[in-house]
Amino acid sequence: MKKTNDCKKLMKMSLFLSLLSLGALYYITNNIYNDNLTSELDSLVRTHKIENYSIEKERANLTTFKYRVRVTYEDSLKGKYPSEFYLTRPIFSIEKMDIEFENQK
Is 19 contained in some domain? yes
pTM: predicted TM-score of the whole model, two decimal places: 0.74
**What type of residue sits at position 17?**
L
Is 103 contained in some domain? no
Is 97 contained in some domain? no
pLDDT in tens, 8-50: 999 999 999 999 999 999 999 999 999 999 999 999 899 888 8
Per the structure, the count of domains in the chain is: 1
Other beta carbons less than 10 A from residue 83's beta carbon = 12
Is 98 contained in some domain? no
Is 51 contained in some domain? yes
**What type of residue sits at position 94?**
I
- The boundaries of the domain holding residue 51 are 2-90
Is 104 contained in some domain? no
Is 105 contained in some domain? no
pLDDT in tens, 46-93: 988 889 999 999 988 888 889 999 999 888 777 788 888 888 888 888
Q: State the alpha helices, DSSP H only, in the chain.
A: 2-46
Is 42 contained in some domain? yes
Q: Are 41 and 69 in contact (CB under 8 A)?
A: yes
**What type of residue sits at position 1?**
M
